Amino acid sequence: MADEIVERTAGTESLVLVGIQRRGVQLAARLASLIEEREKRPVPRGALDITLYRDDLQTVGPRPLVGATELPVDIDGKQVVIVDDVLYTGRTVRAALDELADFGRPARILLAVLIDRGGQELPIRADVIGKVVTVPVGSQVDVRVAELDGDDTVVVSPARSRGA
Amino acid sequence: MTGLGKDLLDLESLSAAQITAILDTAEPLKAISLRAIKKVPTMRGATIVNLFFEASTRTRVSFEFAEKRMSADAVNVAIGNSSVSKGETLVDTARNLEAMKIDMVVIRHQASGAARFLAERIESNVINAGDGTHEHPTQGLLDLLTLRDRWGSLEGKRVCLCGDVLHSRVARSNIHGLRKLGAEVAVCGPRSLLPNGAEEALGVTVFDRIEAAVEWADALNILRLQLERMTAGYIPSLREYNRVFGVTRERLERAPRDLLILHPGPMNRGVEIDSDVADGPHSLILDQVTNGVAIRMAVLYLLRGGRPDLAAAGSAAGE
């Protein structure tokens, strides 16, 4: 994925990786480290919490906790790669695009996801995909990362509630 | 954990978990006020009425900024030029506003209990922005946030509320909030300005001398001498009050540790607080004002929808 990001952004000159809270942040940090190792150049990374931009706050019951949004650099004119763990409905990415627009006007925004499970409800597609997983509607795909969950695994389970 | 439902009326009836959830929500919201575009779309389409029966600049402006930064539509009703001056009752005023399809009412009123009275009679969320001498919960919350920012935790810290505790809704909200989060609380002032039996009734230590309070405390929250509420002769004179109870640099220099200084405003400089204290290195007075906007954004966020969300947020904070 790191190679593909470098390829697609034609070098790392104006690259910024922005992870979506929460698992996307760890994935963005790992991708940034890999790119830094290869390109011998620092890659700024940020975190985006999209809670306040969700389109379903009216219906989700208890208010979800709000996390931190931290963008280390001005994103005007940059090539911003949004990083998330799972692409499903696309609504999280829609919220992330709205939030980024409040911070500036990047030259280009790309989407990188570890898992594309299909089922998008919006015209949103990933540019860089770790793995496409085809699962039935209604099942849940959870990415676990060592930093938060103790191990690196992807868990597919037939669950009732909808994932991210 | 239950009982709060759709409104924020006081801190006395909130649990420590609920208060912590509000503070934890306010923390990330602070950054929104630092952005170039100081606005998130969270409350798009929500209509809020700020119903102020008493003069207020800081609190009203703070609520209005909070509402705008959350993208709610806010209308200010100042009572001097409303139908209340023609004799309309509080409930009629609110029901008429509600008939225009509003979602929330932020109310400041001179009568203790006015916010609860209203909350029990209308569908909209009600936020108490100060009712008589009862409570001013968002001020209490922003004081808690300001101190927690400095200390990391309030557990075991000592906070003394100085001055006119009797008339102070800020004091009452602070006492409840601080004690729930594990701080020790004291009050200091002339006995005529302290509630009767404060020790037992409020669970606080009482100091008759400001020197003793300075010796004991980690932070002083210096209350405004509420001149407009002074119906009887509570104190001999402002000059004497300043001489005996005023927080001065000389008094602070004798403190065994660095004391943090809070004041809910508006300040009577030279009465309860001297200028070189208010503007001094340990003063958090302007941090309080900054945090006020974030606290009010957090409360708006957690209340919106008219469901028992704060209670739920309290349990979610334990995740």
Hey, where are the domains in chain A?
2-137
Quote the percentage of chain A above a pLDDT of 70: 95
- Do B222 and B98 belong to one domain? no
Quote the percentage of chain A above a pLDDT of 90: 64
Instruction: Answer whether residue A94 shows pLDDT above 90.
Output: yes
Return the pLDDT at A122.
95
A66–B39: do the CB atoms touch at under 8 Å? no
Q: How far apart are CA B7 and CA A150, in angstroms?
A: 39
Judge contact between A69 and A41, C-beta under 8 A.
no
Residues 80-109 (A) with a CB less than 8 A from some CB of B: 98-99, 102-104
Residues 6+ apart with CB under 8 A from B99: none
Contacts of B38 in chain A (CB under 8 A): none
Residue pLDDT, tens place only, B85-109: 666 788 888 889 889 999 999 999 9
Judge contact between A88 and A139, C-beta under 8 A.
no
Compute the average pLDDT of residues A12-23.
90
- Do B77 and B144 belong to one domain? no
Q: How far apart are CA A127 and CA A120, in angstroms?
A: 14
A68–B31: do the CB atoms touch at under 8 Å? yes
Residues 6+ apart with CB under 8 A from B115: B7, B9, B107, B109, B126, B127, B128, B131
- Do B156 and B219 belong to one domain? yes
**pLDDT category of residue B201 using cuts at 50, 70 and 90:** confident
To the nearest 10 degrees (0 to 180), the angle between helices B285-303 and B58-69 is 50
Q: Looking at chain B, how many residues does it have? A: 319
Instruction: Answer whether residue B28 shows pLDDT above 50.
Output: yes
Compute the average pLDDT of residues A91-120.
95
Residue pLDDT, tens place only, B137-186: 999 999 999 999 999 999 999 999 999 999 999 999 999 999 999 999 99
Residues 243-302 (B) with a CB less than 8 A from some CB of A: 301-302
Q: How far apart are CA B298 and CA B286, in angstroms?
A: 19
Return the pLDDT at B83.
66
Specify the higher pLDDT residue, A104 or A138: A104
- Do B128 and B145 belong to one domain? no
- Do B163 and B273 belong to one domain? yes
Q: Is A49 on the interface with B (CB under 8 A)?
A: yes
Q: Which of A140-154, B49-63, B80-94, B200-214 has the lowest mean pLDDT?
A: B80-94
- Do B58 and B95 belong to one domain? yes
Residues 104-143 (A) with a CB less than 8 A from some CB of B: 104
Question: The complex's ipTM?
Answer: 0.85
Compute the average pLDDT of residues B216-237.
83
Q: How far apart are CA B171 and CA B236, in angstroms?
A: 22
Q: Which of A157-161, B235-239, B240-244 has the lowest mean pLDDT?
A: A157-161
Residues 6+ apart with CB under 8 A from B254: B211, B214, B215
By DSSP bridging, strand B104-109 and strand B125-131 are parallel
Structure tokens given for B97: 């506003």
Q: Helices then strands (H, E): number in chain B?
A: 13, 9
Is B6 among the domain residues? no
A57–B304: do the CB atoms touch at under 8 Å? yes
Domain containing residue B39: CATH number: 3.40.50.1370
Is B86 among the domain residues? yes
Specify the higher pLDDT residue, B125 or B2: B125
A66–B40: do the CB atoms touch at under 8 Å? no
Return the pLDDT at B82.
64
For A58, the closest of B27, B39, B305 (CB atoms) is B305
Instruction: Answer whether residue A30 shows pLDDT above 60.
Output: yes
- Do B155 and B202 belong to one domain? yes
Interface test with B, best of A63, A69, A76, A100 (most B CBs within 10 A): A63
Return the pLDDT at B314.
41
Is B9 among the domain residues? no
- CB hemisphere CA count around B269 (13 angstroms): 6
**pLDDT category of residue A101 using cuts at 50, 70 and 90:** very high
Q: How far apart are CA B223 and CA A73, in angstroms?
A: 41
Q: Is B40 helix (H, G, I), strand (E, B) or coil?
A: coil
User: Tokens 């909209």, residue?
Assistant: B124
**pLDDT category of residue B31 using cuts at 50, 70 and 90:** very high
Compute the average pLDDT of residues A120-145.
91
Judge contact between A25 and B275, C-beta under 8 A.
no
A63–B309: do the CB atoms touch at under 8 Å? yes
Specify the higher pLDDT residue, B68 or A61: B68
B313–A61: do the CB atoms touch at under 8 Å? no
For B35, the closest of A53, A62, A102 (CB atoms) is A102
Residue of chain A whose alpha carbon sits nearest to that of B34? A103
Is B264 among the domain residues? yes
Q: Which residues of A105-123 are buried (b: 16+ CB within 10 A; e: fewer)?
A: ebeebbbbbbbbbebbeee
Compute the average pLDDT of residues A147-158.
89
Q: Is B1 on the interface with A (CB under 8 A)?
A: no
* Number of domains chain B contains: 2
Compute the average pLDDT of residues B222-244.
81
Residue pLDDT, tens place only, B255-280: 999 999 999 989 999 999 999 999 99
For A52, the closest of B27, B42, B316 (CB atoms) is B42
What fold, for A2-137?
Rossmann fold (3.40.50)
Judge contact between B272 and B295, C-beta under 8 A.
no
Judge contact between B296 and B66, C-beta under 8 A.
yes
Q: How many CB pairs below 8 A link A and B?
A: 56
- Do B142 and B79 belong to one domain? no
Instruction: Answer whether residue A93 shows pLDDT above 90.
Output: yes
Q: Is B38 on the interface with A (CB under 8 A)?
A: no
- Do B147 and B278 belong to one domain? yes
Instruction: Answer whether residue A89 shows pLDDT above 60.
Output: yes
Q: Is B240 helix (H, G, I), strand (E, B) or coil?
A: helix
Compute the average pLDDT of residues B62-71.
97
Please give the mean pLDDT across all residues of chain A: 90
Return the pLDDT at B43.
92
- What domain range includes position B69? 16-136+291-316
What angle is formed at CA B270 by the lines to CA B267 and CA B272, rounded to 5 degrees? 60
Q: How far apart are CA B51 and CA B28, in angstroms?
A: 28
Judge contact between B162 and B223, C-beta under 8 A.
yes
- Do B144 and B211 belong to one domain? yes
Is B2 among the domain residues? no
Distances (CA, A) of B90 to A81, B52, B136: 53, 11, 19
